């Protein structure tokens, strides 16, 4: 085999592996060139050889390797990629749209274990729950870089190494992950003029389309994409080697055509602010300076969890950017309590319905009747949903999460009850998955079990409404059929928080009236 044919074969065999690792490609190819020279091969490399490697999408790497090999040979790198056997670097994936860092809860595989694609490699605690991290590639777990219990691990940080061959395991015993190509990058950047003076302008061709159309995605991501009707080929993966995760599916939005932007000449800037700006109060910014603590005061500082940081960020943004308004109504719950007692008595222990189950069902049917409340605000349009997915606020250790009862308008009370119990248990155990708490269209927050008489909830963006449900209390109400013209009834106060950009006051009132009608006459929910 000729030298040029060998280099071309190397390029073709490595293109898939190095399509996201250009710097490492330079190291690998340069090493192969050096091996050939050291073996006294009749080696002649020219730009014609580079051009002959047409299937390789990084032609300029060959030219750079050849013309800069003298400098590359002088570089001192503690251990670069070429000195290590072929391996796959496992990076911390983005498991949630709001995730910025994660905590390694446990490694489900040990060093040396054989692993298959899709196996659970580790459990990662995100800002919402503990997620299963799947194995991106089959092979053997060669090294665990980040140990169990490590907090605030950044997305895309190196956490483990996988090798294809079992005999390569020993090479990574002392691998720390610090053996990067930063030194190579720095020295290549130090003298760009040298490279430019010897390298001809090369037009980089786009990579050829795959003949297999294989999509690298987790099985869960494929299922979620199928459920949502999303063409997974249009989704850009954020996982290792471009692997598509569930979070990528949840974050995917159909691209819109950008509006035409007209060129506008800027007006001269006045030195004096306009009266409007002078009269506009500035946004309050809290001081970052800690106030002094009085002598003798005892306290402790509690570190913020990822979940608490996310709650603080999202709800602060909601109150600052979403124009809230609130509608309150008093609902007579006598017939709901009566029906609930009757159904639970006849179930013989098969199920136990709660008042919240009736609330979720009534809210879902009301959203079907008043779909404007089943919408979300976007900068150029309002998205109104056909499906009714009700998020239910659940208090867990360290924060709050909102699992979703999907298609709640189509489910019976027992199915809703079973979903809420199962999802709440998953949430408290931190085993809930992203597709089970992301994507709701309306939220119900119930504090009635704590005896709260009335409260208002903060809208969960990008939703446009949230219903705050209080406790049912015995109150004296008018009753024309009674001799005393009054009776004691179970009355429940609810408050609907609305985004005024999406839901006008009359629309919110219409929804609340429909909701009250379903609960005061629960038999109508069967129609």
Provide the annotated active-site residues. Answer: 500, 504
Contacts of 508 (CB under 8 A, 6+ apart): 325, 327, 373, 465, 496, 498
Contacts 24+ apart (CB under 8 A), 472-479: 472/333, 472/337, 472/355, 472/448, 477/332
Single out the residue of 101, 135, 401, 153 nearest to residue 245, CA to CA.
135
Q: Using alpha carbons only, how large is the chain's radius of gyration in Å?
A: 31
Tell me how long the chain is: 527
Measure CA of the first residue to CA of the last residue in the chain; give whole Å.
Answer: 78
Question: What one-character DSSP code corresponds to residue 351?
Answer: -
Single out the residue of 46, 50, 38, 43 nearest to residue 11, CA to CA.
50
**Rounded to 5 degrees, what are φ and ψ at 487?**
-155, 170
| Cβ count near 385 (within 10 Å) | 16
| Cβ count near 4 (within 10 Å) | 17
| Cβ count near 451 (within 10 Å) | 9
DSSP string over 60-128: HHHHHHHHTHHHHHH---SS-GGGS-SEEEEEPP--STT-SEEEEEEESS-TT-EE-TT-EEEEEE-SS
């Amino acid at each position: 085999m000729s030298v040029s044919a060998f280099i071309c074969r190397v390029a073709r065999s490595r293109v898939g592996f190095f399509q996201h690792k250009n710097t490492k490609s330079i190291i690998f190819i340069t090493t192969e060139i050096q091996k050939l020279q050291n073996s006294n091969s009749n080696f002649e490399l020219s730009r014609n050889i580079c051009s002959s490697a047409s299937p390789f999408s990084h032609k300029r790497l060959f030219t750079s390797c050849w013309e800069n090999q003298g400098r590359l040979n002088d570089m001192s790198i503690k251990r670069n990629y070429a000195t290590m056997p072929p391996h796959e670097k496992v990076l911390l994936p983005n498991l949630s749209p709001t995730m910025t860092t994660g905590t390694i809860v446990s490694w489900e595989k040990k060093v040396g274990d054989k692993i298959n694609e899709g196996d659970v490699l580790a459990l990662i605690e995100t800002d919402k729950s503990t997620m299963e991290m799947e194995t991106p590639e089959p092979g053997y777990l060669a090294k665990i870089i980040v140990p169990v219990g490590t907090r605030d691990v950044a997305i895309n940080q190196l956490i483990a190494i996988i090798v294809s061959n079992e005999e390569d395991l020993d090479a990574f015993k002392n691998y720390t992950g610090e053996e990067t190509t930063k030194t190579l990058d720095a020295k290549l950047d130090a003298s760009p003029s040298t490279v430019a003076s010897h390298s001809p302008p090369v037009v980089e061709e786009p990579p050829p389309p795959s003949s297999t159309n294989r999509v690298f995605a987790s099985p869960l991501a494929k299922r979620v994409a199928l459920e949502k009707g999303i063409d997974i080929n249009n989704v850009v993966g954020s996982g290792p080697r471009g692997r598509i995760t569930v979070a990528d599916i949840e974050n995917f939005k159909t691209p819109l055509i950008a509006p035409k932007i007209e060129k506008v000449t800027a007006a001269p800037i006045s030195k004096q602010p306009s009266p409007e700006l002078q009269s506009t109060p500035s946004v309050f910014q809290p001081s970052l300076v800690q106030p002094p603590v009085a002598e003798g005061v005892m306290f402790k500082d509690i570190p913020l969890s990822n979940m608490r940081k996310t709650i603080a960020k999202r709800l602060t943004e909601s109150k600052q950017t979403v124009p809230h308004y609130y509608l309150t109504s008093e609902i007579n719950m006598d017939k709901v309590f009566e029906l609930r007692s009757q159904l639970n008595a006849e179930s013989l222990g098969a199920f136990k319905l709660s008042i919240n189950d009736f609330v979720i069902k009534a809210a879902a049917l009301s959203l079907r009747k008043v779909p404007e409340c089943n919408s979300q605000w976007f900068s150029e349009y309002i998205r109104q949903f056909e499906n009714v997915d009700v998020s239910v606020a659940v208090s867990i250790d360290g924060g709050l999460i909102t699992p979703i009862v999907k298609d709640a308008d189509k489910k019976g009370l027992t199915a809703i009850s079973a979903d809420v119990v199962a999802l709440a248990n998953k949430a408290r155990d931190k085993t809930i998955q992203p597709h089970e708490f992301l994507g709701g269209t309306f939220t119900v927050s119930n504090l009635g079990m704590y005896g709260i008489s009335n409260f208002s909830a903060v809208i969960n963006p990008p939703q446009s409404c949230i219903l705050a449900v209080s406790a049912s209390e015995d109150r004296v109400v008018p009753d024309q059929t009674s001799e005393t013209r009054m009776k004691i009834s179970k009355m429940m106060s609810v408050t609907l928080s609305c985004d005024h950009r999406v839901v006008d006051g009359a629309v919110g009132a219409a929804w609340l009236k429909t909701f009250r009608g379903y609960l005061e006459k629960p038999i109508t929910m069967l129609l």
